[in-house]
Amino acid sequence: MLKTFNTLIDSFIDNKVGIAENFLSEALASHLKENLNLLYSGRQMLSAGTGNEAVVLQNKLVRGDKIYWLDRKHNDPYENDFFDLMDRFVSHLNSTCYTGITGYEFHYTLYETGSFYKKHIDQFRNNGSRQYSMIMYLNADWEEKDGGELRIHHVDNQQNISPLNGKSVFFKSSELEHEVLLTNKPRLSITGWLKIG
C-alpha cells in the first residue's frame, strides 16, 4: 500500500494533482459501490448544495450530485475498512510531508445521468479547515463515451481525469478550480477532504 500512497503523493508534488490507480482494492470498491447503490435505491442520498453549514444553496444548474456522509458510527464493515485505509494514508502523508492533517470527512457521491458540477473550488470562504481534496472512484467498465471526467483547471492548461474504478485523485482544496463534466450514465465515487483544526 505504501507504493500506492507514494505514487499519489509524488504525482501531486510533480503536477499539483496526485493520481493513483487502484488506491481502493477491487473488492473494497465493489462493496462500497454496493453500499452506495443500496442507499440510492432506498432514497437515503440527498441532493448536494454549495456552501457549508452556515450557508447552503441548492442549485441543479451548478451541481446535480446526490450525497450521503460516511461515519464510523454507522459501523458498516466496508466503510470502516475505508476509514482504516484513510487513517494509514493520513499517517503516511503527515510523516513524509509534515502536513499536520488532524481529521477528514467523506461522503458517497452519485451523479445521475445528465448531471454535472460547474467549475468551483473546494475551500469555503469562511472556513479554511479543508486542506486537501480526495476522490476515490467506484465505476467499473467506464468508457470515454460515458463522459463524467473530472476537469482540473491549471494556470495554463486543463487536465481531464476519467473516473475509473479504484482510482484516487488528490489535490490542494484551496488552489485548483475543477468541475465534473456532464455524465452520460450514473457516476459513483467517495469524495472528501483532509482537514486541520
Q: What is the CATH number of the domain that holds 180?
A: 2.60.120.620
pLDDT at site 59: 55
- Cα–Cα–Cα angle for 137, 83, 167, rounded to 5 degrees: 20
pLDDT at site 55: 43
pLDDT at site 50: 52
Half-sphere exposure (Cβ direction) of 35: Cα atoms closer than 13 Å: 25
53 pLDDT above the threshold of 80: no
Residue 54: inside a domain, yes or no? no
Coil, strand or helix at 16: coil
pLDDT at site 170: 96
Residue 21: inside a domain, yes or no? yes
Which three three-digit cell numbers place residue 34? 454496493
Residue 117: inside a domain, yes or no? yes
- Domain containing 172 equals 2-48+60-195
Return d(Cα 17, Cα 169) in angstroms, integer: 7
Burial status of residue 136 (CB atoms within 10 A of its CB: 0-12, 13-18, 19 or more) = buried
Residue 71: inside a domain, yes or no? yes
For residues 158-169, give the mean pLDDT: 97
pLDDT at site 64: 83
54 pLDDT above the threshold of 90: no
115 pLDDT above the threshold of 90: yes
- For the chain, give the percent of residues with pLDDT over 70: 91
Residue 55: inside a domain, yes or no? no
156 band by pLDDT with thresholds 50, 70 and 90:
very high
- For the chain, give the percent of residues with pLDDT over 90: 80
Q: What is the mean pLDDT of the chain?
A: 91
15 pLDDT above the threshold of 60: yes
34 pLDDT above the threshold of 70: yes
In 37-175, where do the E strands start and end? 46-47, 50-51, 56-57, 65-69, 103-111, 117-120, 130-137, 150-153, 158-161, 168-172
Which three three-digit cell numbers place residue 76? 458498516
163 pLDDT above the threshold of 70: yes
For residues 158-163, give the mean pLDDT: 97
Residue 131: inside a domain, yes or no? yes
Which three three-digit cell numbers place residue 54? 452556515
Backbone angles phi, psi at 94, to 5 degrees: -65, -40
pLDDT at site 69: 96
> 0.85 cut: is pTM over it?
yes
Residue 152: inside a domain, yes or no? yes
Residue 184: inside a domain, yes or no? yes
194 pLDDT above the threshold of 70: yes
pLDDT at site 63: 80
Q: How many domains does the chain have?
A: 1
pLDDT at site 60: 62
